[in-house]
Amino acid sequence: MELFSVEFYSALLTIVFIDLILAGDNAIVIALAARNLPQEQQKRAVIWGTFGAVGIRIVATVLVVQLLHVPWLNLVGGLLLVWIAYKLLVQEDSHDHVKAGNTLWQSIRTIIIADAAMGIDNVIAVAGAAHGDTLLVILGLIISVPVVVWGSTLFIKLINRFAWIIYIGAGVLAYTAAKMITHEQSLMDFFDSSPVILWSFIIVVIILTIAAGWFTNLRRKQAAKQRSSEPH
């Protein structure tokens, strides 16, 4: 895409938003990994651990961007991203496996390893939103670094207070997933044949993803309410 065009800025904003919406786990991992360190070392662990994690993520995302040129991988990546969007809405993740480091290096290593293991959702989402543009990947992740380091905890509080933000985030991920599928070389002729088909497909993917997450959460709430009302 043309550098600094409306399309470029739109994709860049999407990448930054995806990084933000998926940054909650990063913030928790960072906090847990550095919690045993003296206060003066905690900041250094957070900064170096995050930079190391983002460095690995940039390399991984650039590799995935290149891989998306392989036939049918856009379709596979898009379907996987739909699942990631759904899991974002219904997540009940436990971070008990994240061990706190007792030294600065141990904490940095824990942050990098844990982020690499958990960062596959972010990598696929950002690669899909970038549409093959490596500059977008690097710019988007660099912009997100200070946010993840200093702003993630604030963003987590915001999400906890306003639950609808998560649904917007899942919608953006579902939109990115649908665009990935429509960019699959083998399907492009079908989707390019009519804007109505293209946008109908994108809208259906977004609605189905959000609806599936909403119904799952509703069923869980009803089950929890039923359990709590049962006599012990």
Model confidence pLDDT, tens digit, residues 94-152: 555 556 667 878 888 877 777 776 677 778 888 888 887 888 888 887 777 666 666 55
Site of tokens 């996987």 = 80
Number of structural domains in the chain: 1
- Per-residue model confidence as pLDDT tens digits over 194-204: 999 999 999 99
User: Where is average pLDDT lowest: 2-6, 60-64, 79-83, 173-177?
Assistant: 2-6
Residue 126 lies in a domain: yes
Which of 16-20, 116-120, 167-171 has the highest mean predicted lDDT (pLDDT)?
Answer: 167-171
Q: Is residue 161 part of a domain?
A: yes
pLDDT at 23: 66
Which domain range does residue 155 map to? 6-229
Torsion of CA 172, 214, 119, 20, to 10 degrees: 50
Query: Residue 101 is inside which H or E element, if any?
Result: none
pLDDT of residue 99: 62
Is 1 inside any structural domain? no
Q: Please give the backbone phi and psi of residue 69, each rounded to the nearest 5 degrees, phi first.
A: -80, -15
pLDDT category at 52 given cuts 50, 70, 90 is confident
- Report which residue type is found at 55: G
User: Does residue 186 carry a pLDDT above 80?
Assistant: yes
C-alpha span between 73 and 110 (Å, rounded):
31
pLDDT at 212 over 80: yes
